[in-house]
Amino acid sequence: MEQGDLFRDEGIDRVEGNANQLWIEKAQQAVKVISKHIKEFTTDKVWVLMDGVHATTHDNRAMGAVMRKAQAEGWIEPTDRVIKSTRAVCHSRPIRVWRSKLI
């Protein structure tokens, strides 16, 4: 593993440790639901599903930990593609496209 990968993983671990654990659980449930119904998706879809959840987290980067856990569970895998986020708070930044392994 390269040094950049280690720093990335350490950062994700820190964010996850500081995140609201109820929010993490709800986000993981949302990823699992989406991955059972959509072959390829981005975290934009997860955020849409999370819109009705009353749990919040102070650092939205915790979504990275959620996706990493979903990948480790074998629900999803990253593609080599990115697309622009449709969420206004993301300012059209590129986000990864994920592929379901549950369909």
CB 46 within 8 A of CB 34: yes
The tokens 């999370």 sit on which residue? 50
For the stretch 17-59, pLDDT in tens is 667 899 999 999 999 999 999 999 999 999 999 988 888 888 8
Digit-coded pLDDT (tens) for 68-102: 999 999 999 999 999 999 999 999 999 999 999 99
Q: What is the pTM of this model?
A: 0.85
Q: Which domains are assigned to the chain? A: 3-100 (1.10.10)
Calculate the alpha carbon distances from 61 to 26, 36, 38, 66 in Å: 15, 23, 23, 9
